[in-house]
Amino acid sequence: MIEVSVIIPTFKRKDSLLRLLKSLVPEMTDKYEIVVCEQFINNGSSFKSFAKKHNILLQYIFLKRTIGTSAAKNTAVKKSNGKYIIFFDDDVAIKRNCIKNLIRNFKDKKIGAVGGRVITIDQAIEENYKNVGKITFFGKFTDGFSSKIRQNIDTVIGCNCAWRKDVFEKIGGFDEKFTGAIREDSDISLRTLKEEYKILFEPDALVLHLREPTGGGRKTEGRLEWYYNFLSNETYFFLKHRPKIIVPIILATRWEWIARCMFGFGREVSIRSFITPFAGIVNGIEKYRRYSNEHRN
């Protein structure tokens, strides 16, 4: 019987994913499976060959068109068999006992999700940070996922986190209106808390986030598209989770991101770069309108 399903969405990162699979090999047991969901380019033969060589159970799903991170994760979860589901980004390498240390927390039935520790290359390590993964009323996000202090959090970081599968299904999985890989993890976290489950930060479940410069949802895959998705998702996220009256204030605090998109700072400056931020905000409002219509009693 499968206990744990490791879910890995991937996009244009064959070598990076093979590196992750290599780091997973020592962790795997006959009760664990890996579910890879790849978009756009089919590298399935390489991943299946690796799994066969190392005697690990791997399901491979190929999606010809790009459907986004949220939809890819949901697709993989539907194919999974585990009682617990773990999400890793394709550009991390896991450290010893990461999986074991994530799932041991589910002995407490009040815990619906667990966020793991993340050390990101070229970023400072904050071992004593006490406010990991918090979201303030006015929309400020704290990081601190390199902390060594176990604590309750508001949001996981998507590259290293786990859910009870029954809780994940109860809240409807990832919201596929979130485009790119931005805020979908915080949205599902807040929906988990709304169902009165706790989310725990587990510092003994460690991954090294190597931040591949290309592939995934990086700006290198399309700078203006990234900003469009960012501002669309920010708008949609806060319309869902904060009083509507303060959302313009929250968006005003994103002025630096709007300026980066518009003026390029050494990159493309055009009519499109000026229009993109506001088009993204309008798209986020439209997403929320659709969401409201779908959830109208």
- Total-model pTM: 0.94
Residues 78 and 168 both lie in one domain: yes
Q: Is residue 214 in some structural domain?
A: no
Residues 48 and 172 both lie in one domain: yes
pLDDT band at 114 (very low <50, low <70, confident <90, very high): very high
Q: Report the pLDDT value the prediction gives residue 204, as an integer from 0 to 100.
A: 98
| Residue 23 Ramachandran class (φ > 0 left, ψ -120 to 50 alpha, else beta) | alpha
Q: Is residue 203 in some structural domain?
A: yes
Q: Is residue 73 in some structural domain?
A: yes
Return the SS3 of 24. Answer: helix
Residues 18 and 155 both lie in one domain: yes
Residues in the chain: 297
Phi, psi of 295 (to 5 degrees): -110, 15
Q: Is the pLDDT of residue 93 over 90?
A: yes
pLDDT band at 220 (very low <50, low <70, confident <90, very high): low
pLDDT tens digit string along 31-70?
Answer: 999 999 998 899 999 999 999 999 999 999 998 877 789 9
Residues 261 and 163 both lie in one domain: no
Residues 265 and 191 both lie in one domain: no
Residues 68 and 173 both lie in one domain: yes
Residues 90 and 228 both lie in one domain: no
Q: Is residue 18 in some structural domain?
A: yes
Domain C-terminal end among 209, 238, 268: 209
Residues 79 and 108 both lie in one domain: yes
Residue written as token pair 């999974």: 80
Give the chain's domain count: 2
Q: Is residue 38 in some structural domain?
A: yes
Q: Average pLDDT over the chain, rounded to whole?
A: 93
Residues 271 and 142 both lie in one domain: no
Residue 23 sits in a domain whose CATH number is 3.90.550.10
DSSP conformation class of 95: P
Residues 126 and 202 both lie in one domain: yes
Domain C-terminal end among 209, 241, 263: 209
- Residues in a beta bridge with 118: 207
Q: Is residue 215 in some structural domain?
A: no
Provide the sign of the torsion angle of the four alpha carbons 192, 165, 116, 120, taken in this order: negative
Q: Is the pLDDT of residue 152 over 70?
A: yes
Q: Is residue 165 in some structural domain?
A: yes
pLDDT tens digit string along 275-285?
Answer: 999 999 999 99
pLDDT band at 217 (very low <50, low <70, confident <90, very high): low
Say how far apart CA 200 and CA 155 lie, in whole Å. Answer: 9
Residues 94 and 204 both lie in one domain: yes
Domain coverage including residue 261: 222-291
Say how far apart CA 10 and CA 20 lie, in whole Å. Answer: 11
Say how far apart CA 90 and CA 12 lie, in whole Å. Answer: 10
Q: Is residue 185 in some structural domain?
A: yes
Over residues 164-185, mean pLDDT: 94
Domain C-terminal end among 159, 178, 209: 209
Q: Can you give the three-state secondary structure of 170-190, one letter per residue?
A: HCCCCCCCCCCCCCHHHHHHH
Residues 131 and 272 both lie in one domain: no
